[in-house]
């Protein structure tokens, strides 16, 4: 083995075995994170170099079994059998096993050893195991028929040995066949294999067994689409019936056989220390899952996270928004002469990059907490505590954190749905997350409430109408999300009710490395995958607002203003600025955006809107709060207005229809707010949905259903309000 050699191994193990810790100790930052083609399953590849060459490590999703029932498991089987495109041929399997929980962890091993690949068994968490179990390692190695090593990945112990063992294992033969199943079953599987072979379908022994064992499995469904295999489902049913008659009922016969083999293998060489009273984890859980304290602690943790992502990350966000981006823009303006290039750089590129970067603080902050909670073991408890409440929505306790985070911002919230292992629950959570009232809606509410809702107070000024309307707006999305979740579950994501079979792992100190890598990955995957799409959307919307108008006049005016030595508040300068704003307003009216706004005017008229509001809504597709700046431009106030701007408020208050009637009033303001509460005017959210679901179908679906909801909601609001208040 002197020549340089590249090899690829797959990392597999149960959840909570320290697999990610082991992966990061072995490879450092993953070389590539993405999705497997066509599915939501995350693909993680790592690389390291040893003295013989490069080693690629494919980190497969943590799983308890290797069936073809769920997407994760199906992908893992495809990767291991080297039938997955885009993944190198697998030379060996590295099976990570939690040494403190040997029986259940070996279950996956009994499936892996049927795949015909060499296996290295890694007993991880060995430091803790030494005080909890007694095990004859030599005997275990002999009985399993594969090399066994021990590691404590959290302390980086045994990693060098693991690298050496990985290099050796690829040269070794796969584990010897073990008589796992009773003869009746093996015969039935062989029978099926030759039946399939007669129909030109060559499958491995393992795959044939899986076809029989996985009732309602995805592989069987896929195969029976072929015309020559259309009888496969009936065939499988009759095989299962025959097996049941001979006492081998599916699926019990599989688990019985495998656990039977495990018991036999561990017989006499392994024992668990009898527990002396409650363990440390039990004691902690006495408080953390307590009837009253459990909720209190849960509430406190969620409160801290929410505060951190709204206030802590919000501070960075506002610095980016209010200091960094204006600074970069002004630098660009000082270099570039007024004209299309400056407009593209300042309003397109810098604004586009800003629209991406602005999400980073809150994403990194949330994933810091997600990683911390997952790694210490509390995440499972949080799901455990909240589950009953969330089942009322047809979801599970695992959906709580992503949904709560979406109240700050749906982008990290949707990314955090990765903690939900059930595919249907995850999809429903992703699709309702954008309805939660995020912080970007706040400026829109503030502007319209301050301008159009009369301030009335009760109870000595403690309760105000402004506050009530704001609260109602924030609640509206949540109230609508409940029936939507129910409908999605009922019609789009039907199927087996989602199970809550969840391990409550022992508590441990979170590993800084794992937390760091998790945060790093979240930022990287957001920037690389969603970031470019968000950026492109911003540039496109800029172009729609810029073309096809003739900007010569406004550019000349800008040059004149910038070259002049006039005082900031001199009347001449003010006159020039007002002229420029007038021009900007006319230009946007004649732009593609303006045309689009005029085209949709008949459609938005029933909502009480004129074409200018229509333009504002279209222009705010990249982000909701953009509507404020757009309205400012249309009403000739320049692009630099915010929700506090008195000029904008008075401009809105005096805007009229061509016939002289006022455009705005309470009904219109309410209908705009309701629209923004329910619409999907946020490119970042839609692009993150695309990234997380790995399909354009779901962002399009989310945009369509939310826009429909928003339109109907705004229509009802306007029609009702205008009758009530006229």
Partner 1 sequence: MLTLADLSPGSSARVVDVLGEDGLAARIMEMGIIEGELIKVLGMAPLGDPMDLEVQGYRLSLRKNEARRVTVTRDSVSSPVA
Question: CA-based diameter of the chain, in Å?
Answer: 99
Q: Helix 646-654 and helix 626-634: axis angle, to 10°?
A: 60
**Distance of closest approach, residue 110 Cβ to partner 1, in angstroms:** 11
Going by their DSSP bridges, the two strands 92-98 and 119-124 should be labelled as parallel
Smaller CB distance to partner 1: residue 292 or 459?
A: 292
Residue 724 binds partner 1, judged by CB under 8 A: no
- Altogether, the residues listed in the chain come to a count of 726
**Residues in contact with partner 1, shown as a per-residue x/- string from 181 to 220 under the rule CB under 8 A:** --------------------------------xxxxx---
Smaller CB distance to partner 1: residue 295 or 458?
A: 295
- Structure letter (DSSP) for residue 170: T
Rounded CA separation 409/428 (Å): 17
**Distance of closest approach, residue 253 Cβ to partner 1, in angstroms:** 10
**Residues in contact with partner 1, shown as a per-residue x/- string from 241 to 260 under the rule CB under 8 A:** --------xxxx-xxx--x-
Binding to partner 1, residues 331-390 (CB under 8 A): 380, 384-385, 387-389
**Distance of closest approach, residue 231 Cβ to partner 1, in angstroms:** 20
Residue 103 binds partner 1, judged by CB under 8 A: yes
- Peptide bond before residue 251 is cis, with ω within 30 degrees of 0: yes
Smaller CB distance to partner 1: residue 41 or 666?
A: 41
Smaller CB distance to partner 1: residue 282 or 640?
A: 282
Rounded CA separation 530/224 (Å): 37
**Residues in contact with partner 1, shown as a per-residue x/- string from 280 to 319 under the rule CB under 8 A:** -xx--x---xxxx-xx------------------------
**Distance of closest approach, residue 245 Cβ to partner 1, in angstroms:** 14
Rounded CA separation 649/633 (Å): 13
With CB under 8 A as the contact rule, the residue among 43, 44, 69, 529 that binds partner 1 is: 69
**Distance of closest approach, residue 65 Cβ to partner 1, in angstroms:** 5
Smaller CB distance to partner 1: residue 97 or 680?
A: 97
**Distance of closest approach, residue 328 Cβ to partner 1, in angstroms:** 50
What are the E-state strand segments in 547-633? Answer: none
Phi/psi of residue 96, nearest 5 degrees: -90, 125
Rounded CA separation 449/637 (Å): 20
Residue 613 binds partner 1, judged by CB under 8 A: no
Handedness of CA 360, 362, 365, 366 (dihedral sign): negative
**Distance of closest approach, residue 249 Cβ to partner 1, in angstroms:** 8
Angle value at C-alpha 114, between 109 and 120, nearest 5 degrees: 45
Cα 672 off chain centre by: 29
- Number of residues in contact with partner 1, rule: CB under 8 A? 51
**Residues in contact with partner 1, shown as a per-residue x/- string from 379 to 418 under the rule CB under 8 A:** -x---xx-xxx-x---------------------------
**Distance of closest approach, residue 22 Cβ to partner 1, in angstroms:** 19
19 Cβ contact list (under 8 Å, min separation 6): 11, 12, 13, 59, 62, 96, 124
Of 321, 326, 329, 363, the C-alpha closest to 346 is 329
Phi/psi of residue 42, nearest 5 degrees: -75, 135
**Distance of closest approach, residue 62 Cβ to partner 1, in angstroms:** 14
Residue 464 binds partner 1, judged by CB under 8 A: no
Upper half-sphere CA count for residue 713 (Cβ side, 13 Å): 22
What are the E-state strand segments in 29-186? Answer: 32-35, 42-50, 53-59, 92-98, 119-124, 133-135, 148-150
Residue 272 binds partner 1, judged by CB under 8 A: yes
**Distance of closest approach, residue 428 Cβ to partner 1, in angstroms:** 17
**Distance of closest approach, residue 312 Cβ to partner 1, in angstroms:** 28
With contact defined as beta carbons under 8 Å apart, do 8 and 56 qualify? yes
Q: 10 forms bridges with which residues in the sheet?
A: 58, 93
With CB under 8 A as the contact rule, the residue among 48, 64, 486, 547 that binds partner 1 is: 64
With contact defined as beta carbons under 8 Å apart, do 674 and 613 qualify? no
Smaller CB distance to partner 1: residue 241 or 567?
A: 241
Going by their DSSP bridges, the two strands 463-464 and 7-13 should be labelled as unpaired
Residue 101 binds partner 1, judged by CB under 8 A: yes
Of 451, 477, 437, 413, the C-alpha closest to 624 is 437
* Residues near partner 1, by CB under 8 A: 64-65, 67, 69-70, 100-101, 103-104, 107, 213-217, 240, 249-252, 254-256, 259, 272, 281-282, 285, 289-292, 294-295, 380, 384-385, 387-389, 391, 496-497, 499-506
């Amino acid at each position: 083995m002197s020549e340089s050699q590249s090899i690829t191994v797959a990392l597999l193990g149960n959840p909570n075995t320290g697999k990610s810790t082991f992966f990061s100790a072995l490879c450092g930052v993953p070389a590539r994170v993405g999705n497997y083609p066509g599915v939501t399953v995350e693909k993680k590849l790592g690389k390291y170099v040893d003295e013989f060459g490069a080693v690629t490590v494919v980190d497969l999703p943590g799983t308890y079994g290797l069936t073809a029932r769920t997407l994760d498991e199906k992908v893992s089987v495809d990767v291991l059998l080297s039938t997955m495109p885009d993944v190198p041929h697998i030379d060996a399997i590295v099976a990570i096993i939690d040494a403190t929980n040997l029986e259940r962890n070996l279950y996956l091993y009994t499936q892996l050893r049927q795949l015909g690949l060499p296996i290295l068994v890694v007993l991880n968490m060995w430091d803790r195991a030494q005080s909890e179990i007694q095990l004859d390692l030599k005997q275990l190695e002999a009985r399993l028929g594969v090399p066994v090593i021990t590691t404590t990945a959290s302390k980086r112990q045994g990693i060098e040995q693991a690298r050496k063992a990985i290099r050796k294992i690829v040269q070794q033969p796969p584990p010897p066949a073990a008589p796992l199943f009773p003869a009746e079953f093996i015969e039935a599987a062989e029978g099926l294999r030759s039946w399939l072979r007669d129909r030109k379908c060559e499958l491995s022994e393992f795959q044939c067994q899986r076809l029989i064992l996985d009732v309602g499995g995805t592989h069987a469904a896929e195969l029976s689409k072929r015309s020559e295999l259309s009888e496969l489902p009936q065939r499988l049913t009759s095989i299962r019936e025959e097996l049941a008659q001979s006492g081998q009922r599916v699926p019990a016969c599989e688990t019985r056989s495998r656990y039977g083999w495990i018991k036999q293998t561990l017989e006499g060489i392994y024992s668990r220390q009898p527990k002396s009273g409650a363990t440390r984890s039990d004691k902690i859980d006495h408080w953390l899952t307590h009837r009253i304290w459990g909720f209190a602690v849960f509430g406190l943790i969620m409160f801290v996270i929410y505060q951190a992502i709204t206030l802590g990350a919000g501070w960075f966000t506002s610095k980016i928004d209010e200091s960094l981006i204006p600074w970069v823009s002004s630098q660009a303006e000082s270099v570039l002469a007024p004209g299309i290039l400056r407009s593209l750089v300042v309003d397109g590129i810098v604004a586009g990059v800003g629209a991406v970067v602005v999400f980073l603080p809150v994403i990194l902050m949330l994933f810091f907490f997600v990683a911390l909670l997952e790694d210490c073991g509390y995440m499972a408890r949080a799901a455990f505590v909240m589950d009953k409440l969330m089942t009322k929505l047809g979801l599970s306790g695992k959906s709580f954190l992503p949904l709560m985070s979406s109240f700050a911002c749906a982008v990290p919230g949707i990314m955090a749905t990765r903690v939900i292992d059930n595919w249907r629950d995850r999809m429903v959570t992703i699709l309702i997350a954008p309805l939660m009232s995020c912080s970007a809606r706040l400026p829109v509410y503030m502007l319209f409430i301050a301008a159009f809702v009369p301030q009335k107070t009760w109870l000595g000024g403690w309760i105000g109408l402004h506050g009530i309307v704001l609260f109602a707006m924030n609640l509206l999305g949540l109230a609508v999300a409940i029936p939507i979740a129910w409908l999605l579950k009922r019609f789009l994501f039907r199927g087996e009710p989602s199970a809550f079979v969840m391990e409550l792992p022992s508590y441990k100190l979170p590993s800084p490395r794992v937390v760091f890598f998790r945060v790093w990955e979240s930022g990287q995957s957001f920037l690389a995958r969603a970031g470019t799409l968000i950026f492109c959307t911003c540039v496109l919307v800029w172009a729609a607002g810029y073309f096809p108008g003739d900007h010569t006049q406004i550019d000349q005016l800008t040059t004149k203003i910038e070259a002049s030595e006039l005082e900031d508040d001199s009347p001449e300068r003010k006159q020039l600025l007002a002229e420029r704003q007038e021009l900007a307003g006319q230009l946007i009216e004649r732009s593609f955006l303006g045309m689009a706004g005029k085209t949709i005017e008949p459609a938005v008229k029933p909502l009480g809107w004129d074409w200018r509001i229509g333009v504002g809504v279209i222009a705010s597709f990249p982000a909701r709060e953009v509507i404020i700046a757009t309205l400012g431009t249309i009403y000739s106030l320049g692009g630099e207005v915010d929700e506090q701007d008195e000029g904008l408020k008075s401009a809105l208050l005096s805007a009229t229809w061509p016939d002289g009637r006022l455009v705005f009033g309470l009904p219109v303001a309410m209908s705009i707010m309701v629209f923004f509460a329910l619409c999907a005017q946020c490119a970042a959210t839609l692009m993150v949905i695309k990234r997380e679901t790995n399909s354009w179908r779901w962002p399009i679906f989310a945009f369509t259903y939310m826009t429909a909801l928003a339109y109907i909601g705004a229509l009802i609001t306007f029609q009702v309000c205008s009758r009530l208040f006229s």
